[in-house]
Structures are given as C-alpha cells and as structure tokens.
Amino acid sequence: MSTKSRDGRSGTRGAASPELVAGSSGAGWSGAGSPGLGSSGIDSPGAGSGGAGSDTTAVCFEGPSGTSDERAVHLLRTLRPGPVLPMASVAEVCYTVDHTPGLVGIVPVETSVDGLVTTMFDRLMFGTERVLVREEVVLVERIGGFCLGDPSEIDTVLSHPDIIKLCRGYIVDHQLTVEHTVSTAAACERVVNQRSLNWMALAPLRVGEAAGLVKLDESVSDVPDIRTRYFAIGQEVAAATGADRSCLLVIPPEDRAGTLSVIAECFGEPGVNLLGIMSRPLGKGATHHAFYLTCEGHALDGSLQGAFERLLNAHMVVKLLGSYPAWPGEEVTAPFQAGSSTTAGAGKGEAANALRNPPVASASTGIS
C-alpha cells in the first residue's frame, strides 16, 4: 500500500498554466474530432500500445519494486504488461508518459482511507499535454501480521509508514515498537533475512504469504481492507466497450450562481449520466474554478459528443482527459457506515433539525 504524498521531486516540470492547457474561453474541445484510440480491447493481451507487432506494453510506476503500485499493474485488462519500470515519483511517471509514445504509466488517484489524491488530478488537468486516462483498476488488499513462528516473542512490527498508521490500534493494544521500511515487501524480506523471532511484518496477505512467513493475525488493520483506485495513463484513450467512463476538464468563463446547473444540463439533455464533479480553484484569489468531471460513456459516443457541443456553446473551455472501460469489480468506498444518526433522511428526526438549526458559535469566538 502506498498512499503517501504524490507530489514528487519533479515539481511542476512540464506543467502549463490553465490557459496554455485549455485555451481561452470559448476555445474548441482539445479532443474534437477523434481522440487518440488504443487498439486494444478488454482481455485482448495480444494488443497493446507497445508498437507494431508488439504483444506487450512497457508500464512504469512509482517505485520501489514490491509496492501496491506495482501489484496494480497486473490488474490491467486492456493490455499485457511487458517491462515494468519503477520510477522515483508519480511526477516522473506522468512526465515520462507525456513524452514517450507507447509507454503506459499507472498512478493512484483514490484510496478508501485518504480519499481522492488531488495532486494527481491537478497533474492530469494542468501538468501534462498528451496524457490521457485509458483504464482504471481497483486494488483491494487486507493487511495481516507475519512472523517466523513464535508469536509470544514479538515486540516489534515492521512496515511501510502508511500501513503503520492504519494498524495503530493493534500496535498500541499489543505495546509494540515500530520500525519503518520502504515497502511491505521490504518488511517481510527483513524478517526473513534477519531471522529475528521478535519481529513481525505488517503486509498484504499475498505479500506475506509469498515471503514464506507464518500468518499470525489477519485483523491487524483498523479498517477491514484497503482499496486503491489507479488510472492507467498513456497517449491514447481505450477503444469503446459499451460500458465506459470518460473524464474531462471544464472551465466556465466566470464563477456565478447557476454555473454547476448549466454544466449538469449540458450532460442531462443528451442523456449522459454525470457521476462526479470536483472543483479546483484557479488564480490567486480563488474566485475562478476549474471542474474535473466524470461521466458514463465513451468520448466518441453520440450522446457525449452532444454534451461536449453544449459545453462549448456555453463558452466553456473543455479538455478531454480520458475514456476507459468501467472497472467491473469492487469500488473504492468510504470506510464508514452510511446512514448514521447524523445523516438527514426524509426531513425528520435529529439530523433534519440540525440542518434547519445548526449550532452556531457566538460572535465573540469568530474572526475579529
């Protein structure tokens, strides 16, 4: 599992301002006509973007080897991974894909623990010129405790810092000392190589079992499992499958009441289901916003083309960011139960009353 900050050492290398990326207000859709299409289809491992006659595709990820990012590579369905290339940062992955036709990168965009990785979405919107999302996958992993055999002697746990944070309850309850490693695979390797009976590695079940260690406990994490959504990025979108999603950048000419309603109508009128909207402030005053949108459908579908035209006619800047087959497996979900007593239902109860009369701090405690 790797949920650390994704803002790598490359900084804004290759980044452009929103104006350079998307043009001025009323500019044409950057993907107008025919976006680059990958030739591969679902479960067609003989096809890929690795060049004519190639049946594998090089895939890069943020290293080191043995992390969840590398394990996510093997969930890809629209291509057969060839060389798997670890890189220093997600920024390096994006920059390299942006400048290397035929290369695919895999980057994390959401976790069930920390939510959306907004720095990654900013890179897709403003930090690259040719990068397009061509696939999504969701990696689901459960964390276990692994040792050499005798649990009575365990006094120290080893793991990646992000995993340590997720297992804080177990560590405190058992009064264990903590040592950090660069990955969960590295934690297992240290336990094996050092032959220390006092150590326990915290790692995804498949990682600990592959290392040949004894599984001590499957319930060491504070959450049942860890889910991470990844985008596969390249310089082409995937071919349409009939069960697709698309993402795009939309910048309205100005911020005003009703802007989101206008955007929603542009999708609703041609019958496109809008799945998500995320806003990002532009400029120093944060008085102008860009919107990252996710919707059902492929960029070349007639209904989605109709939505694009409506957005352009409303004088909005539009940039296609990707089209990809929808992930058929488990989704990334919040690690909390929905429908609690603090959630308003049909306008009744305590939660509904809190909507109408929320507790308000006295003026004396406010900003002077």
- Note the pLDDT tens digit of each residue in 252-298: 998 889 999 999 999 999 999 999 999 998 876 667 899 999 999 99
10 Å Cβ neighbour count for 57? 25
pLDDT in tens, 110-153: 998 888 999 999 999 999 999 999 999 999 999 999 999 877 88
Look up the pTM and report it: 0.78
Alpha carbons within 13 angstroms on the beta-carbon side of residue 78 total 30
Q: Which of 63, 59, 42 minimizes the C-alpha distance to 50?
A: 59
Please tell me the predicted confidence (pLDDT) of residue 211.
92
Using the predicted structure, report yes or no on whether residue 338 has a pLDDT greater than 80: no
Instruction: Please give the pLDDT value at position 282.
Output: 87
C-alpha 296: how far from chain center: 17
CA geometry: angle 80, 86, 91, nearest 5 deg? 105
Per-residue pLDDT, 120: 93
Per the CB < 8 A criterion, the answer to whether 247 and 322 are in contact is yes
Chain segment 154-194, per-residue pLDDT in tens: 999 999 998 999 899 999 999 999 999 988 999 999 999 98
DSSP H or E stretch at residue 313? helix 302-313
* Residue 293 C-beta-side C-alpha neighbours within 13 Å: 28
Query: Topology of 143-223 in CATH?
Result: D-Maltodextrin-Binding Protein; domain 2 (3.40.190)
Candidates 270, 240, 201, 227; CA nearest to 108 is 227
Domain 18-140+227-325 has CATH 3.40.640.10: no
**What's the pLDDT at 342?**
55
User: Diameter of the chain by CA atoms?
Assistant: 72
Domain spans in the chain, listed from the N-terminal domain onward: 18-140+227-325, 143-223
Structure tokens at 257: 């009441």
- Tell whether the model's pLDDT for residue 204 goes beyond 60: yes
